[in-house]
Structures are given as C-alpha cells and as structure tokens.
C-alpha cells in the first residue's frame, strides 16, 4: 500500500525487497467477516476496494465517483486509506503535512455536484469531507461496509513501538476505536467533536508494512514484532467486541451487538510472512486478510518483468502467495486476493522481442509518478495503436510494449481469469488497489464482479 504523491516510489521500495530474491540485478528504487449487500452479485465473495484520501486532489476522484460509475453497488467493503499512528502510539488526525489530512477526511465542504446525495454541504455540519460522503454512500447501499485502514507503506513508522507492551497495545487500540469507531473527531472550526463520525466505520484494517522485516526507510521493526503483532490483533478483536456489546446494551435490552470487521493487508514474500505473521493464531481473530497480489516486480528494477501474474515459474505469483498462506494455516475463505488497478512501467527497453525480461534504462514516464500509471491511462495506450497488447494466457498476465516502453498491468481479461481462480479455490473474494485507477464506468470492477458471479 502507498501514500500520497510518493505512491509509486513507496511501493517500489516495498516490492524491491520482495522481488530482489528472484532478481539479483534489481536495483533499489525509492518506493499496499460479514458480507456487504451489493446488487446483482453473488454475496458470498468480498469485494474490497481501497479509497485513497489523497485521490480527491490531483486525480479529482471523489466518493461520489463510486456511485456514478456503478462501483459502489459492486463492493462489500470500502477501505479508507489511511489512518496514522503517532510517535506516542495513538491513532490521530489533524492537518499536518505528510502525516494527517483532516481537511480531506471531514472538514472540506463538497458542492452538490460532487455529493452522493446531490446536496451541498453547509457551514454548520459537524461532518463533511470524505467521511460525510462515505456516510451518504452507505445510506444509498445499506449493506456496504466502510473500514479505516491504518498505516500503509509511509505510515507504518510507529507500529512496532506501539505494539511493544500490553499497555501500549491497549492504548493504541483504545485510541483508534475512540477516533474512528466512536467517531470522536478533533474539533476543527464547526467540524468534528464527540460522535461526529459515529456509525461511519464498520471495522479496522491493519496495514502494518511490515512486522518483523524492513519497510519504509523510517519504519521501525524488531524480531519480537511477530509476537507483538499477534497480541495487537487480539487486542483489536477484544476491544472491538467489548465496545459492540456495551453499545448494544446502551440501545436497549436484548439488542444484538454489531460485528466489527477486522482485516489486514499481508505480504506475498514467504520471508516476510514468517518474520511477522503467526498465521494460525492471527487468522482466528481476523475476519479476512487482503493478500498482496501485485508489485512482484517494480519499475525500479534493471529488467522488465511481470508485476501481478496469476502463475509464474520460479517467481512470485498470485497462486504462490495463496499457497504460501494456505500451507501456513490460513483458511481459504479468509483469503482475499489483491488485484492492481494500475501498472508498473519501464522505458529504454532493449533486447527486442515482446520486451519482457529485457534490460531497461529506468521507470517509464507517467502521469503522477514515474513507473506507476493508473489502468484508465494504460487503457488509452492500449487503444492508441502505438502499443501492442501481449498476453501469457497460461500464466494469467498482460503487458503493453511499443518497442521502447513496457507496462505490466491487469486488464478485464486477466481479472476475469483471477475471478475464476477465486471461485475454483473457494477464496474469500477480491481486493482492489486502488479504486481511483479504474475507468469512469468501472470497467475493472465490472469484470471482477461478473467473474465472481459467473456471469
């Protein structure tokens, strides 16, 4: 997972460590329960989409776009990325450049054209911004769940410190529940206050990258992270259940407690799994986990390669990731396959052929960050006539190549193949990073939805 304008840089650094064991020539480059009720789709599979806080700026991707594209009706969960953990081990928000963005979260007013309900925000609302729009989206889709995702590549910095002791774990979890589940937001002008976001979030997604092994340059990690992560997950489960029971008693006698979902983004690398994840124990507390199904190779490497193949010989792949989690004790029904709504790209590719596995000069120029491009932009390249679409139907991968520049990505055909794999292996569903990469009419989410529904 990534954060802000450093998106491709951060994810490249994360994936470099993963890919380097298979790619000796890789060079480091600065850097991702219960069912929702969506319409016209089989409800047994989760469809988890990450909505990026910062996407509302340059990309101008608003919560309302999930409604107009038809995407919201096909999702069971929206994971809002990201919430941050402070140096003193607490969930927090505010307006701190690079660390928190309360303006985007709940302060920024939306006009009628960008509002899910078609009504402009007023100055005296306690809740505005993305949070209010997500609340409006839930009103339109009562089965849809919204999760707060904590951490990500750039904001996993203080997880290891916060998880070190029983007292620090209790304090971290209590602060996250207070801020997001109870909705007690800091006051910012007329916005925020006690219970301002109550009822918005239906659970917590832990995106600690990575317990027990290296992540971003300033992220702390320790050998004891594995034990502490297991205890932290259990603390989240315990406090979420306890809050649900107390809240039910507060409503009326005999009220059924709400179930708050608990999930995590987890790695593809076997080394990272073993360093930080006691799989049998954590899976008892998690409703599901979102598997890293992308960035197996990244644009910071010296040679082009697949980033998200379903199968690959002697290399990372989606199938290998699934099997690695299964053999460590994860139930198939709790494994949600990660799918990229973007591509990794190289330029200065030499060696001819279809371009794959060839030397490259560096990351390809792109809209937001070199080497990283949204699917909606890659789709236009595929239609331009300049690039040729190449496929390995056996491995379940696709890439674009114009003789000089190569992009590895997933298109609808690849995603339909992956959806069939989910059905065949009885996995928990599909996850998408990130929703702002899809087309205006939700082409990718539609392909997955139809594939999971076998339509």
Q: Which residues are catalytic?
A: 209
DSSP state of 253: T
DSSP state of 82: E
Q: Where are the alpha helices (DSSP H) in 69-165?
A: 102, 129-140, 159-162
Q: What six digits make up the tokens of 37? A: 């009720």
Distant-in-sequence, close-in-space partners of 202: CB < 8 Å, separation ≥ 6: 77, 145, 146, 147, 258, 260, 261
- Give dist(CA 326, CA 307) in Å, integer: 22
Closest of 173, 159, 152, 169 to residue 80, by C-alpha: 152
Distances (CA, A) of 81 to 28, 49, 54, 86, 366: 25, 10, 9, 16, 23
Polymer length of the chain: 455
Q: Are 121 and 62 in contact (CB under 8 A)?
A: no
DSSP state of 317: -
Query: For the chain, what is the radius of gyration of the CA atoms?
Result: 21
Q: Are 156 and 220 in contact (CB under 8 A)?
A: no
Q: Are 429 and 46 in contact (CB under 8 A)?
A: yes
In terms of C-beta density within 10 A (0-12 exposed, 13-18 middle, 19 or more buried), how is residue 124 classed? exposed
- Cα angle, residue 199 at apex, residues 131 and 64 outer, rounded to 5°: 35
Question: How would you classify residue 4: left for phi > 0, otherwise alpha for psi between -120 and 50, otherwise beta?
Answer: left
- Cα angle, residue 227 at apex, residues 241 and 202 outer, rounded to 5°: 25
- Give dist(CA 299, CA 113) in Å, integer: 37
Place of tokens 């916005």: 191
Q: What is the 3-state secondary structure (H, E, C) of 120-147?
A: CCCCCCCCCHHHHHHHHHHHHCCCCEEE
- Give dist(CA 16, CA 18) in Å, integer: 5
Q: Are 425 and 431 in contact (CB under 8 A)?
A: no
- Give dist(CA 262, CA 285) in Å, integer: 7
């Amino acid at each position: 997972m990534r954060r802000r304008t450093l998106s491709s840089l951060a994810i490249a650094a994360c994936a470099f460590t993963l890919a380097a064991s298979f790619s000796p020539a890789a060079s480091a480059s600065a850097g991702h329960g219960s069912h929702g009720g969506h319409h016209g789709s089989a409800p047994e599979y989760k469809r988890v989409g990450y909505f990026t806080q910062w996407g509302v700026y340059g990309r101008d991707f608003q919560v309302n776009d999930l409604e107009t594209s038809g995407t919201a009706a096909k999702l069971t969960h929206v994971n809002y990325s990201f919430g941050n953990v402070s140096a003193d081990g607490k969930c927090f928000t505010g307006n701190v450049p690079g660390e928190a963005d309360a303006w985007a979260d709940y302060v920024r007013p939306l006009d009628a054209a960008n509002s899910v309900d078609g009504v402009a925000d007023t100055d005296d609302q306690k809740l505005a911004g993305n949070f209010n729009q997500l609340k409006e989206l839930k009103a339109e889709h009562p089965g849809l769940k919204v999760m707060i995702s904590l951490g990500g590549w750039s904001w996993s910095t203080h997880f290891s410190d916060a998880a070190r002791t029983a007292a620090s774990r209790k304090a971290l979890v209590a602060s996250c529940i207070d801020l997001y589940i109870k909705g007690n937001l800091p006051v910012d002008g007329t916005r925020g206050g006690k219970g301002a976001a109550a009822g918005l979030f239906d659970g917590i997604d832990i995106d600690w990258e990575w317990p027990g092994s290296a992540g971003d340059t300033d992220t702390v990690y320790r050998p004891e992270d594995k034990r502490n992560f297991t205890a932290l997950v259990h603390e989240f489960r315990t406090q979420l259940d306890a809050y649900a029971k107390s809240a039910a008693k507060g409503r009326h006698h005999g009220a059924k407690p709400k179930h708050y979902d608990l999930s995590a983004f987890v790695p593809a690398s076997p080394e990272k799994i073993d360093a930080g994840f006691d799989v049998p124990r954590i899976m008892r507390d998690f409703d599901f986990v979102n598997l890293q199904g992308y960035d197996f190779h990244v644009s910071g490497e010296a040679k082009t390669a697949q980033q998200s193949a379903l199968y690959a010989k002697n290399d990372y792949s989606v199938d290998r990731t699934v099997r690695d989690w299964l053999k460590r004790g994860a139930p198939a029904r709790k494994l949600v396959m990660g799918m990229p709504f973007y591509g990794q790209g190289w330029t200065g590719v030499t060696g001819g052929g279809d371009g794959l596995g060839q030397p490259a000069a560096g990351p390809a120029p792109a809209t937001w960050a070199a080497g990283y491009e949204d699917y909606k932009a890659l789709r236009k390249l595929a239609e331009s006539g300049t690039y040729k679409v190449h496929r390995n139907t056996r491995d379940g991968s696709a890439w674009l190549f114009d003789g000089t520049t190569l992009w590895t990505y997933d298109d609808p055909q690849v995603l339909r193949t992956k959806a069939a794999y989910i059905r065949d292996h009885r996995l928990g569903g599909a996850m998408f990073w990130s929703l702002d990469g899809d087309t205006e009419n939700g082409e990718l989410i539609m392909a997955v939805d139809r594939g999971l529904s076998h339509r």
